[in-house]
């Protein structure tokens, strides 16, 4: 360890609240070309010097090739690239090091063992430790940390866009701005409490603040309404495929999924339970559900009855509904389906009507959309004649579904989604509760009014982590993978 004495001259960056040096594998364990091992904390550079004793420390932020040796035996473990980051100019805000080693499991285990065997105060990181240190050192706020988690878990393009927007600080800027507004309103009321002598002036200031709070409440309420779209984008948009037995529901799902996910049979009642498939439709995560065929009769067994019951529940819970009918017997199909849906009190939401089996017609010219529109009450723009046998009309149907998803998720005249999650909404609801108490209060109770504005601003502060949120930190960061 020829260069170890030189370390006393390196001015390490110490976090005010974290002193342990942590390390972990940041890439999935398994065979790969390269694996990334992260080290963060005051002894990060000492660890690297212990593992690479034959050369001095690399230049900061430059990737350098080094021999990685075991600090106890001096055995060569790997030749790897090493990069150092000086705190606070790193992801965690602390001194950091990264080892880009070969991705074989044996190499990874050997290097991790070498780090733990160094004469440094190190410990293996727990889930989310690196991101938590980034938050604690002011590199991220809580909304950005949650956005980072969403980026890691994003599976579609629209999910990625939503997460990136959050990491970039859109919600941080919005909520901190709102919090500053409430603090400003409160400061005016507290000025009245401390210095107010003219009642007329005091009343005028109070009513100005009152009007501003009224407007503020409307903005937060609108934000809450739109934030539901962000949750749909995170967790998937439910789309129910329903209809009578043997109309082609399972065939339609298989075509959309481009693989066989549901059993197709001429026997009625083949689909007994809900079959869910998560698909990427134009960047949106969509949960398509193939449901049991809807029918009534004494010959239906218990299992099929339960499947039909669940089908009705799925239809009711879905944000988009696709009804499949057999076009060769359209009037009977419509009559039976109308009876079944009417007697289940299904809420009145738009339905996309798929008329399957057009390949069995003598000519597509025989399709009378105006008549079908009259029979079903569904606009012709929502009606799609298709063939699950020849794929005719399927492309137009999927294009229409994608457009409907965009209308459902995105703001009007906007290409962006609000990313507020369930935790944010909980604090926003509490904030609104305190503001409603303020608006319903007595003008003479200025002290109580100022207190409610403080409580409201504290709730906004909890979203970003600007007030005490210790109880939620574990819940947020424990969801991260180890090494992030």
Residue 77 to residue 69: CA distance in whole angstroms: 5
Same domain, 253 and 372: yes
Same domain, 281 and 386: yes
Q: Cis peptide leading into 39, omega within 30 of 0?
A: no
Give me the CATH number covering residue 73: 3.30.1360.120
Do 398 and 286 form a contact (C-beta atoms < 8 A)? Answer: no
Q: Is the pLDDT of residue 268 over 70?
A: no
Same domain, 159 and 218: yes
Residue 327 to residue 268: CA distance in whole angstroms: 18
Residue 266: pLDDT band with limits 50, 70, 90: low
Q: Is the pLDDT of residue 2 over 70?
A: no
Q: What is the pLDDT of residue 204?
A: 82
Exposure letters 446-464 (e unless 16+ CB within 10 A, then b): beebbbbbebbbbbbbbbb
Q: What is the pLDDT of residue 49?
A: 96
CA 471 vs. chain centroid, Å, equals: 21
Same domain, 96 and 180: no
Do 182 and 456 form a contact (C-beta atoms < 8 A)? Answer: yes
Q: What is the mean pLDDT of residues 470-480?
A: 59
Give the chain's end-to-end CA distance (angstroms, integer).
30
Do 66 and 72 form a contact (C-beta atoms < 8 A)? Answer: no
Is the Cα torsion angle 313, 316, 317, 319 positive or negative in sign?
A: positive
Residue 92 to residue 125: CA distance in whole angstroms: 13
Give me the CATH number covering residue 270: 3.40.50.300
Q: Half-sphere exposure of 93 toward its Cβ, with a 13 Å CA cutoff?
A: 18
Q: What is the pLDDT of residue 109?
A: 96
More confident site: 98 or 471: 98
Q: What is the mean pLDDT of residues 356-369?
A: 84
Q: Is the pLDDT of residue 298 over 60?
A: yes
Q: What is the mean pLDDT of residues 469-477?
A: 55
More confident site: 73 or 368: 73
What percent of the chain is modeled with pLDDT above 70? 85
89-93 CB contacts, 8 Å cutoff, 24+ apart? 90/40, 91/40, 91/130, 91/134, 91/139, 92/15, 92/40, 92/130, 92/133, 92/134, 92/137, 92/139, 93/13, 93/15, 93/133, 93/134, 93/136, 93/137, 93/138, 93/139
More confident site: 469 or 373: 373
Number of domain units in the chain: 3
Residue 172 to residue 31: CA distance in whole angstroms: 38
356 within domain boundaries: yes
Listing DSSP states for 336-366 in one string gives HHHHHHHTTT-----EEEEEE-GGGSS-GGG
Q: Is the pLDDT of residue 22 over 90?
A: yes
pLDDT in tens, 146-175: 999 999 999 999 899 889 999 999 999 999
Residue 457 to residue 317: CA distance in whole angstroms: 35
Last-in-domain residue among 118, 139, 160:
139
Q: Is the pLDDT of residue 182 over 70?
A: yes
Same domain, 391 and 405: yes
Q: What is the mean pLDDT of residues 365-383?
A: 87
Same domain, 256 and 325: yes
Residue 466: pLDDT band with limits 50, 70, 90: confident
More confident site: 268 or 280: 280
Same domain, 163 and 281: no
Residue 314 to residue 302: CA distance in whole angstroms: 18
CA angle 394, 397, 399 (to 5 degrees): 110
476 within domain boundaries: no
397 within domain boundaries: yes
475 within domain boundaries: no
Exposure letters 182-194 (e unless 16+ CB within 10 A, then b): beebbeebbebee
Residue 99: pLDDT band with limits 50, 70, 90: very high
pLDDT in tens, 405-449: 988 887 554 556 667 888 999 999 999 999 999 999 876 688 898
What percent of the chain is modeled with pLDDT above 90? 57
Give me the CATH number covering residue 445: 1.20.120.430
Do 150 and 159 form a contact (C-beta atoms < 8 A)? Answer: yes
Residue 203: pLDDT band with limits 50, 70, 90: confident
Same domain, 53 and 127: yes
Cα pseudo-dihedral 383, 388, 394, 398, rounded to 10: 80
Q: What is the mean pLDDT of residues 256-275?
A: 72
4 within domain boundaries: no
Reference 296, options 312, 282, 285; nearest CA is: 312
Same domain, 220 and 245: no
Q: What is the mean pLDDT of residues 86-101?
A: 96
Same domain, 36 and 67: yes
Q: What is the pLDDT of residue 101?
A: 98
Q: Is the pLDDT of residue 7 over 50?
A: no
Q: What is the pLDDT of residue 139?
A: 93
Instruction: Among 285-289, 338-342, 452-456, name the one with the lowest average pLDDT.
Output: 338-342
Instruction: Among 88-92, 389-393, 447-451, 466-470, name the one with the lowest average pLDDT.
Output: 466-470
More confident site: 468 or 278: 278
Q: What is the mean pLDDT of residues 107-136?
A: 94
241 within domain boundaries: yes
Q: What is the pLDDT of residue 264?
A: 59
Q: What is the pLDDT of residue 337?
A: 79
257 within domain boundaries: yes
Q: Is the pLDDT of residue 18 over 90?
A: no
Q: Which residues span the domain enclosing 46?
A: 21-139
Q: Is the pLDDT of residue 131 over 60?
A: yes
359 within domain boundaries: yes
Tokens 């979203």: give the residue. 463
Biggest CA–CA distance in the chain, Å, is 90
Same domain, 278 and 206: no
Q: What is the pLDDT of residue 385?
A: 95
More confident site: 333 or 319: 319
Last-in-domain residue among 107, 139, 171:
139
Same domain, 398 and 436: no
């Amino acid at each position: 360890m020829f260069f170890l004495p030189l370390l006393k001259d390196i001015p390490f960056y110490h976090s005010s609240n974290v002193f342990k040096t942590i390390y972990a594998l940041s890439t999935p364990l398994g065979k790969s070309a390269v694996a990334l091992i992260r080290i963060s904390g005051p002894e990060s550079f000492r660890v690297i010097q212990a593992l690479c004793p034959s050369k001095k420390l690399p230049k900061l932020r430059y990737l350098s090739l080094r021999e990685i040796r075991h600090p106890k035996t001096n055995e060569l473990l790997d030749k790897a690239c090493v990069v150092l980051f000086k705190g606070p100019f790193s992801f965690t805000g602390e001194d950091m090091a990264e080892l880009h080693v070969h991705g074989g499991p044996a190499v990874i285990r050997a290097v991790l063992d070498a780090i733990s065997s160094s004469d440094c105060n190190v410990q293996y990181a727990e889930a989310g430790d690196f991101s938590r240190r980034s938050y604690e050192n002011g590199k991220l706020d809580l909304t950005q940390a949650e956005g980072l988690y969403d980026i890691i878990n994003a599976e579609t393009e629209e999910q990625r866009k939503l997460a990136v927007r959050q990491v970039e600080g859109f919600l941080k800027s919005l909520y901190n701005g709102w919090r500053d507004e409430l603090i400003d309103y409160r400061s005016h009321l507290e000025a009245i409490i401390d210095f107010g002598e003219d009642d007329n002036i005091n009343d005028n200031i109070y009513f100005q603040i009152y009007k501003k709070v009224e407007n503020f409440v409307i903005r937060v309420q609108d934000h809450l309404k739109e934030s539901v779209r962000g949750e749909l984008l995170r967790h998937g948009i439910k789309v129910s495929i329903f209809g009578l037995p043997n109309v082609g529901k399972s065939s339609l799902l298989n075509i959309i999924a481009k693989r066989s996910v549901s059993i197709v049979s001429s026997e009625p009642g083949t689909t007994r339970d809900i079959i869910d498939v998560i698909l990427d439709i134009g960047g949106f995560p969509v949960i398509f559900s193939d449901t049991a065929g809807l029918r009534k009769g004494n010959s239906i067994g218990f299992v099929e009855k339960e499947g039909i019951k669940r089908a009705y529940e799925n239809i009711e819970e879905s944000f988009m509904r696709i009804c499949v009918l057999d076009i060769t017997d359209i009037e009977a199909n419509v009559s039976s389906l109308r009876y079944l849906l009417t007697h289940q009190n299904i809420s009145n939401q738009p339905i996309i009507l798929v008329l399957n089996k057009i390949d069995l017609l003598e000519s597509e010219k025989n399709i009378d959309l105006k008549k079908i529109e009259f029979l079903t009450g569904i606009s012709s723009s929502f009606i799609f004649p298709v063939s699950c046998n020849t794929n005719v009309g399927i492309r137009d149907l999927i294009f229409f579904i994608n457009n409907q998803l965009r209308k459902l998720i995105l703001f009007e005249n906007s290409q962006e989604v609000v990313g507020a999650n369930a935790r944010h909404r909980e604090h926003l609801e509490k904030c609104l509760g305190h503001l409603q108490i303020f608006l319903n209060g007595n003008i003479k109770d200025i002290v109580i009014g100022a207190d409610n504005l403080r409580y409201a601003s504290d709730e906004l502060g909890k979203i970003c982590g600007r007030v005490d949120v210790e109880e939620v930190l574990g819940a947020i960061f424990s969801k991260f993978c180890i090494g992030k």
